[in-house]
Amino acid sequence: MQGPPILQSVLFEETGRPFWSQPALRNLLFLRGLPVEHPYIMTDPPEGLAGAVVLEPVILWDGQPRLLLVNPAASRLRVNASAAPRIALLRERDQFHFDDSLVFHVAIFHRPQIGPAPADKIGKPGPICLSPFTHEPNSVCYHCQCGTVLHLHEPSGLECARAVHRCPHCRQEISFKEGYSWLPKLDS
Ligand SMILES: [Zn+2]
Ligand SMILES: [Zn+2]
């Protein structure tokens, strides 16, 4: 349980104060299920959290994406059909439900981040080739969600992101296509 977002979320829960007044927390989502007609996600906290759970996409210290779920009302949260505590860390393909009606599936949408090397990487070695990142205007890099940067198109010919299939840090697959890496097969 490292990494600031998770740690802060958990600590905050234990204080018993509202989740959303913690300025260090960002990207909070509020999922409301029944009794409304359709479940929906809000970025602002609803009045009273009855019937809602709080979600926050987080990246673990080792780069793995997770969905932090906080169940403020301590309703009957079940993850993968097992009873879950008030705080759960979900991964891709997990299922959860919290009001005995709809089952939610956790999927991850990937959006490749491609661009120049960030300022804090300039002069530091790339993790594959150990050649330093440069200010070179024609230099293009692949940015993994975990913060790892790889050369993609370099005037020198380096294409490290194409040479490996997975990020050397978080092992996430390197893809240049935008989209979900997995979606549940649902009966229509
Ligand atoms: Zn490289
Ligand atoms: Zn990575």
CATH number at 41 reads 2.60.200
Ligand nearest to the CA of 143: 2
What is d(CA 69, CA 51) in angstroms, rounded to the nearest whole number? 14
- pLDDT at 77 (0 to 100): 86
Ligand nearest to the CA of 148: 2
Domain holding 184, by residue range, is: 112-188
9 alpha carbon to ligand 1 midpoint, in Å? 36
Residues 64-113 pLDDT 10s? 888 889 887 766 889 998 988 888 999 999 999 887 777 888 988 888 89
Residues 91 and 180 in one domain: no
Domain boundary among 106, 136, 153: 106
- pLDDT at 127 (0 to 100): 97
Residues 73 and 16 in one domain: yes
Average model confidence (pLDDT) across the chain: 79
5 alpha carbon to ligand 1 midpoint, in Å? 30
pLDDT band at residue 48, thresholds of 50, 70 and 90?
A: low
Domain boundary among 88, 106, 124: 106
Residues 76 and 138 in one domain: no
Domain boundary among 67, 86, 106: 106
141 alpha carbon to ligand 2 midpoint, in Å? 13
Find out whether 146 and 172 touch, Cβ atoms under 8 Å: yes
pLDDT above 70 coverage of the chain, percent: 77
- pLDDT at 148 (0 to 100): 94
- pLDDT at 24 (0 to 100): 38
127 alpha carbon to ligand 1 midpoint, in Å? 6
